[in-house]
Copies of this chain bind each other. A is one copy, B any other.
Amino acid sequence: MDLPYHKPLTQQHLRGFGIEEPWPFGIGGRVMFSELDPLNHVNNRSYLAWFENVRIAYFADYGLDDTQGPNPRWVLRATSVDYRKELKLHTDYVVTARTTRLGRTSFTMDHAVWSAGGLATFATATIVAVAADGSGAEPLTEATRQVLIARDGAGTV
């Protein structure tokens, strides 16, 4: 299968790349030389750039940029990454995202990186909605909650 890069993948493409349900959203990429380190594999921080990238595409696709009013600022509050397989130059990969839990002012996402060899990396990210004026965390809007429940089956805590 030829992997489409940079645009949200269809469910068919996700399944064709071996990514099972309930992963609803993924973006394809290809390892660049600048993402490698002296161990000649993808450096640990390069994955954070990929997770950041897939979240931005996910927020756009889910309409989450619009539901927070003018100038919302989604901020990464915490993350954990489990590096299972190293990745090498020019490897095709897919980075996936889904929201698993809703809090009052934050939500938690799962991320994963997949190559032809299967699951390479698993991660979680806690995202906080910060007021545009920097005055602190804001409650998630009802519209945000509904889209995350409807599309990802996100639970509440």
Whether a CB of chain B sits under 8 angstroms from the CB of A120 is no
User: Of residues A40, A44, A46, which shows the largest number of chain B Cβ atoms within 10 Å of its Cβ?
Assistant: A44
- Asked whether, in the complex, the Cβ of A34 is within 8 Å of the Cβ of B30, the reply is no
- Stoichiometry (number of copies): 4
Q: Can you sample 29 A-B contacts with CB below 8 Å?
A: A5-B30, A6-B30, A32-B53, A33-B49, A34-B37, A34-B45, A34-B49, A34-B52, A36-B38, A37-B37, A37-B38, A39-B73, A39-B75, A44-B52, A44-B76, A45-B45, A45-B46, A45-B48, A45-B49, A48-B48, A56-B89, A76-B83, A77-B82, A78-B80, A78-B81, A78-B83, A79-B80, A79-B81, A80-B80
